Structure 1
Amino acid sequence: MSVIYSALTSLMNRFSDELRKSFLFTVIFSVLAFIENQWVNSYFKRFYPSENFLGFLNRNIILKNHVFNPLIVLVVFALFLLLSLNPPSTSLVITLIIAFFGFFIGSVILPKMFFNNSCDNIIRFKRQDIYSIGFVLLLIGIIFFFVSVASVGGIPLLRPSIRYLLKPAFTMPVFLIIPATCLIGSAYLKDFQVGKITCSQARFRFLLLLVIDCAFLLLLGYRTPLLAAFLIIIIMGFYGNIVSLWEVVIGALIGIGAIIGIGYFRSLGEMTITSSTNPFYTLQSRADFTLHVLNLLDFIGGNFGHTHGHMLISSLPGSDLGPRMMVGKLIAWRTEVTVTPTLIGQMVVDFGKVGVFVEMCILGFILGIGFKLMQKTENFFYIGIYSLILTYTILGVETGILDIQVLLYFAIAILIYLINIAKARN
């Protein structure tokens, strides 16, 4: 494994270095350096609120120390359920209690058995390796953005109807911008930790990454990847002491507003609502529909499941039906639509209530170990990887964790955490 990693990072470093030395990127980075210098030394920066703005938030111990604890997943899930216009069935309530209980055990109780001593012998990743991988992934994402736009002959945000013509083979690589943001951001965080750049410079670079994400992901008309980039920046910035607690709170409100706003205007463009419709209705109706789907999946899955792992396996490339298309087939016999099943939808239809407990316990354990390792080491890479998997778990509350690239992120996180657990035991 170490040989493969060394070969990969060596190739990435060489490619990244050569690109950065090219005339085009020399000009780009020179311009960005100039803008950064103007930002850092701007007269107007003094009018921006200080870290102690809304100081009462800092006095709240739960918010200050645990705002991005893994248990936030359960809070978000509960709020999502409350948005629904109709209550869940009795059977689903039982399934949800089992899910919440399993996640609590995995995220809070099981991690107490690990990393209770020094974490000096954990895997340490080099800053240059992480940056180079992120830089290459970002370029791949940008290249495929232009391929995707060219393939449909327009920009989906401006012409919502053509969004459904986008080809997954072209759009999936665009979403590599998300892990690229995580890796590049964590590299900048390392620079800040060792004093190579100031807090203002780090904040500017985090903001620049977010602007790049918005420029490409928003134009494709997708909300989820954009929210992923936003959440990753916020979580990394918070645990890297770059973003203040009040900025996290304001950022959360902006994120909720973005979900409502983009959904509202996209629904207007698709003529599924009128301008007189309450903007919150789009969010409520979406939550209600998703909960209705979960009710049906819970009925189908029962105690021991119906598809017995086929839905999870259908995430793999080459499958006849993707997991969300399989949901459409199960509940309505329509394979031409994709339906989001929530975080536990796949679990209950694959393995029933028993599977919900086991899978939620495993998911909680992954996040719990990541959270503990990040807190004990304050290492730039572990802050980044925890931000990535927590972000997709939060977003998965509605969509589920079913995309192959997201499953790959979790697989990499699991592998790294297990290796660290093994090293800690030696």
Structure 2
Amino acid sequence: MSMIYSTLTSIINRISDEFHKSFLFTLIFTILEFIENQWVNSFFKRLYPSENFLGFLNKNIILKHHIFNPIIVLFLFAMFLLLSMDSPSTSLVITLAIGFAAFTIGSLILPRYLFNDNLKNIIQFKRDDIYSIGFCLTLISIVFFFISIASVGGIPLLKPSIRYLLKPMLTMPVFLIIPATCLIASAYLKDFQDKKITRSQVRFRFLFLLAMDCAFLLLLGYRTPLLAAFLVIIIMGFYGNIVSLWEVVVGGLIGIGAIIGIGYFRSLGEMTITSSTSPLYTLQSRADFTLHVLNLLDFIGGNFGLTHGHMLASSIPGSDLGPRMMVGKLIAWRTEVTVTPTLIGQMVVDFGKAGVFVEMLLLGFFLGVGFKIMKITKNYFYIGIYSLILTYTILGIETGILDIQVLLYFAIAIFIYLINMAKCKN
């Protein structure tokens, strides 16, 4: 396995080096370096609030140390369901209680018995390898961005109707910009930890990565990947001591506002609402619909499930129906629509209440393991990988963890965690 990794990273490093030596990228990085220096030495930067701004937030122990503890998933899940004006069925309440209890056990209790004596044997990754992988993923995503907009003959943000003409086969590689950002930001975090760059410099680079993500993802008209980029940067910045607590809180409020705003204006453009409709209506209507879907899926799944793994397997490219299309077929016999099943929708349809317990236990466990490794080691790579899987778990509250590339991110993270568990046990 190490030989395969060494060979791949050697090839990727070579590709990254060749691009960096090219005239185009030399020019781009020279310009960015100039802008960075202007930013670091700017007078206006001094007008920005200090770390002690909204200092009362730092007095809250939970916010200061555990704001991105895995338990935030349950808190946000509950808040999303409470947005709905409908009520869950009694059976669904039981299913949710089972899932919440299992996730709590997995994330808070089980990780306590791991890594208490030895984390010296933890796998270490080279900074240059991580950066090069992130850089190459960025190149792939940018290339497919231009292919995607060329295939529909316009920019989806400006013409919302053509967003539905985008082909998943072309847009999926664009979303690689999220893990790419995570890896590049991890490399910059490593430079900051090694005192090769200042805090101001790393903050500028994080901000630039976020702006680049927003530019590409916003033009495609997608909200979820945009929020993913935002969350990854915020979580990494917080645990890397790059972003202050007040910035996390304010950033969270801006993120919520962006979700509401993009949804509202997109709905106006598609004429599904009028300008007199409350902007919150789009969020509430999604919560209503999602809860209605979850009630139906819980009824279908029962105690031991209906599809027995077929929904999760349908995430694999080439399947007749994708997982969200399968949900549409199950609840309405319509395969031409995609329906988001929430975090536990797939679990309950595939394996029922028993499946919800097992899968939520495992999800909580690996998030808990990632959180503990990150908190103890403060290693740049483990901060990045935890930020990535926590981000997609939070987003999965509504959408479910069903996209093949997201499942791949989780598979890689779990594989790395399992190897560390085995090494540190010795």
TM over 0.5: yes
Give how far 1:189 is off. Answer: 0.2
* Alignment-mate amino acid for residue 344 of structure 1: I
Say whether residues 1:195 and 2:195 are aligned partners.
yes
Pairwise CA distance, 1:4: 1.0
The amino acid of 1:89's aligned partner reads: S
Distance 1:290 1:43 in 2: 48
Letter matched to residue 212 of structure 1: M
- Correspondence for 1:34: 34
Tell whether 2:346 aligns with 1:361: no
Q: Which residue of 2 aligns with 1:253?
A: 253
Shift of 1:113: 1.2
Q: CA deviation at 1:118?
A: 2.9
1:358 maps to amino acid: V
Aligned partner of 1:46 in structure 2 is 46
Partner of 1:182: 182
AA aligned to 2:307 is T
Quick one: which amino acid aligns to residue 305 of structure 1? G
TM-score, length-scaled by structure 2: 1.00
Name the counterpart of 2:148. 148
Kindly report structure 1 stretches of 4+ aligned residues shifted beyond 3 Å.
none
Alignment partner of 2:59: what SS? coil
Give, in angstroms, the shift of residue 393 of structure 1: 0.2
1:176 positional shift: 0.2
| CA distance, structure 1, for counterparts of residue 153 and residue 126 of structure 2 | 41
Q: Read off the aligned partner of 1:310 and give its amino acid letter.
A: H
Amino acid at match of 1:138: T
Name 1:345's counterpart in structure 2. Answer: 345
Partner of 1:111: 111
Q: 2:384 aligned with 1:384, yes or no?
A: yes
The CA distance in 1 between the partners of 2:108 and 2:295, in whole Å, is 28
Deviation at 1:420, TM superposition (A): 0.2
How does 1:9-408 map onto structure 2 within 5 Å? Answer: 9-408=9-408
Structure-1 separation of matches of 2:296 and 2:152: 35
Three-state SS of the structure 2 residue aligned to 1:178 is helix
Matched residue type, 2:162? I
Once the two structures are TM-superposed, the CA of residue 315 in structure 1 deviates from its matched residue by 0.2
Code of the residue aligned with 2:81 in structure 1: it is L
- What is the identity, as a one-letter code, of the residue corresponding to 2:304? F
- Which amino acid letter does the alignment assign opposite residue 8 of structure 1? L
Equivalents in 2 of 1:105, 1:339: separation in Å?
30
Q: CA deviation at 1:425?
A: 1.1
Provide the rounded CA distance (Å) in 2 between the counterparts of 1:186 and 1:362. Answer: 26
Q: CA separation in 1, counterparts of 2:162 and 2:116?
A: 53
What is the CA-CA distance between 1:277 and the residue it aligns to? 0.2
Gaps of 5+ in 1: none
Task: Work out whether residues 118 and 425 of structure 2, in 8 Å CA contact, stay in contact via their aligned partners in 1.
Answer: no
CA distance in 2, matches of 1:4, 1:109: 35
Distance in 1 (alpha carbons) for counterparts of 2:410 and 2:372:
16
Deviation at 1:114, TM superposition (A): 0.6
1:365-420 CA deviation, whole Å, 9 max, x = no partner? Answer: 01000000000100000000000000000000000000000000000000000000
Amino acid at match of 1:350: D
Give 1:223 shift.
0.2
Q: Is this contact kept in 1: 2:312–2:323, CA < 8 A?
A: yes
Could you tell me the percent identity over the aligned residues?
A: 82
**How much has 1:117 moved relative to structure 2?**
1.4
Counterpart CA distance in 2 for 1:279 and 1:273 is 10
Q: Which residue identity lines up with residue 329 of structure 1 in the other structure?
A: K
SS in structure 1 of the partner of residue 319 of structure 2: coil
Helix, strand or coil: the match of 2:120? Answer: coil
1:73-120 CA deviation, whole Å, 9 max, x = no partner? 000000001001101111100000000000001001110111111311
Distance 1:66 1:101 in 2: 19
Q: Secondary structure at the match of 1:262?
A: helix
Q: How many residues align?
A: 426
- The alignment partner of 1:222 has SS state of coil
Deviations 1:157-214 (A, max 9, x none): 0000000000011000000000000000000000000000000000000000000001
Q: Distance in 2 between matches of 1:86 and 1:246?
A: 34
Question: What does the per-residue CA deviation read over 1:62-83, in whole Å, with 9 as the maximum and x for residues that have no partner?
Answer: 1000000000000000000100
SS of 1:125's equivalent in the other structure is: coil
Unaligned runs of at least 5 residues, structure 2: none
Aligned-pair distance for 1:328?
Answer: 0.2
Distance 1:193 1:48 in 2: 23
Q: Distance in 2 between matches of 1:258 and 1:162?
A: 21
